[in-house]
Structure 1
Amino acid sequence: MTREDARFDAVFVGGGPRAVATVVRLVDRLRDSGESTPVRVAIIDAVEIAAGATWRTDQPAEYLNNTTVAATTIHPDASTRMTGPAAPGPTLADWITDVEAAGEHPFADWVIEEARGLRAAEFPTRRLQGVYYRDRLDSAIASGLVDVTEVLGTAVELVARDDIRRVLLTDGSVYSAPIIVLAQGMVQAQPSLEVQALQRTAADHELTYIAPGMPAEQPWELVFPSAEIAPGETVLVRGLGANFFDVVGHLSRQWGGRFEPVDGDAFGRLRYVPSGREPKLVAGSRRGFPYRSKPDGDADPAPFEPRYATRAWFDELSELEGLSLKHDVFPTLAAEFAHAHLAALERWSPGTLRSGWLERLDAASGLPEVEAVLESHVLGERYRWLVDELRRPTRGEHVGQERWRELVHRHVEDELGSMSLPS
């Protein structure tokens, strides 16, 4: 391919679900208009067409999606605010039902294995959702209304000249069209100065350092059991967010360990059964608390209706200039968090609240007043909580190791309870 060919009606930079959704909508519009001439489209992605990087289909099964089966679709319906025809199609849940009923799938045997018995309230693997995106793109292509050229490569430059725009790839190829659709998803940042310093320090001391990034794209073989990483070797982990659980889930399998359900546990606790090959993980973060969990099952949280952070409030914010997160935004969000906490307590343990909290919260005009309501209307320390604990779990107090263990244990217990009995 030379730098002067590859002309299209539209070029997509980024080939994940954003691109798939746009192609699907294009087909819907063409079908609605009666147009029969196919639109020539090029889709460029550095990892995988349709699945993209996040839902790439070659990643381990331990990496789960962060939304449930029931929450995912690539097709809009009549409830979507948009122009053009409403054209609902199979949701992820519908697709899984169809795949299970078919008993086979041309992509891979594991597609059937993962689809079998998967419920709407459960979290699918990311790779299974990637196959769903692939199937939806294939369905759009099969309509004959789009002629899609799939390009695996990395776009590095976009040049506009007259009515034609050109996308340059690292291999020197050029894809031109009057319309360029920037459909990138989670674009990875360049290494920060801190990361660069850690890389240099690790190299100077002959240490292994894996920089932040997508879990599915990391060289985890560097921390598999080896001459460099012996059983019991200390491995530092920075961060206790979602990626931490991806890493632990994947590496535990590589080390030969496994997680097993605790028999009869009402909260669904797991017990880790080690293989003896594991290194010693020392994990930490700025707060030192594990990332917030999500319920995995049929017990859905109660429907949420904002009391303070309403659509009208957001509309008012959009009219302000020089907006301050601290002064203009966060106090209202804090009141919303406080209301959620106190309303849940009122439903599940009404005896723990003093009356009049709602009137005082409605009248609160800033964060200190919101915190005062939380402090004064909850009886007993067990359920007392302040918004500032989201940022500072100890409320700024220095605590010892045993007290810290108690705080983390209580946090985990409360999470398990709220997921099993959501309010």
Structure 2
Amino acid sequence: MFDFTIAFRTLIALVSFLFILFFFLLGYTFWTRLTKNYWERYEKKFRSYFFSLILDYAEQTSPKQDADDIIKQLSRRTKDYAFFLRLLNKLVNILDGEDRERLNDFIEHPAFLSLFQERLFDYSTNSKLLACRYFRFAEDIDQRTLAKLISMSRTSNIKLAYAATKAIITSGKPTIQKTTLLRFFKRSDFSELMVPELLYLLDPGNTAYRPQIGRVLKSLLIENIGQTAKIVIIRYLGCQRFYKQSNFLFQYLKRLQYNNAKAPLIQALIIALGQLHNINASSVIRAYTQKGMPTDIRLAGVKTLSTLGGEKNLIFLVNNLQNAEFAVRKAIIEEFILNDKKRLEYLLQYVISNLDLIRKIKDQKQPPKHIYPFLDKIDSIAAGIQITLSHRLMNTNA
């Protein structure tokens, strides 16, 4: 028999529990917002006070201030060191030369070094992340710290592994840099956005290190890493003009056998070879630009062949107008009209030759029906040339 008393008591207990839970969550939300607002106000005051002190110290020609005097004003709270480190990070990106070098007085200060070495071996993940951020700027990393960073780069926590990897890369040791990047790129949980930042940290922009960095990136492409990482590395080599790796990328493209999965990789290689102006790759790129290949690859081929130039490449592009789909046809026309006045002659020859053919067809009393799609395509090409040429003339007169 159903007991109403037990049911009523159960209902009262459930309502009471939900009531308590509601007020707990309400109080927790209020407390977290209050804490967040407090630290935001504190950081704002902290930044306004210490920013001018650090900047004055870095920019003075004969330092009257002592770095110790500024650091002594920090409390032992981790938050203070985190905010101070964030300020240094901003100034490192703003300053250069001697002003930037003076910031090392803060970064290499024993108080910072000892604190963040302790935080690196702490149980808290946030403390370890903060320590990794610090060691990205530290010039000399001892063996014990480096070993700990390498250990952290192997962890299953992607956020922590990423932070440790960034710290190791800035150490400037090529063999360790390569093995660390290789280990990270073999993971399956990293995002594409992480790769360019790692490459940026690897390449400080110093021309003396360019050959060494180029060799590291080349060796990574040979390894068995994910295609996402390979594509970003190839793009980086092209965008940053690693000309010494141009022939390697050409040979890499030649060895690839096309399939749908490799299409993005092939597209990246074609674009990079254009940026590196590898004229020897023209024949291979022309093969990938022909009909039957995916549109993205053909568009990349059009851009690269146009960049490489040369009569053979330009004639190839003009001859492909007839068989190309709309997107590729439009790209070819724009490359010829918007970039170089001399290229207009190739289009003019193409139009004149087709006009002669159209006149001959019109002279026939009954043209074959299969010729009409060809005429429609010629009409579409002529319209595209006219529209693009009008845009160029309008921009020229503007």
TM-score, scaled to structure 2: 0.23
Higher RCO, 1 or 2 (CA under 8 Å, sep at least 6)? 1
TM-score by length of 1: 0.22
Q: If each structure's strand is expressed as a fraction of its own residues, which one has the higher value?
A: 1
Larger radius of gyration: 2
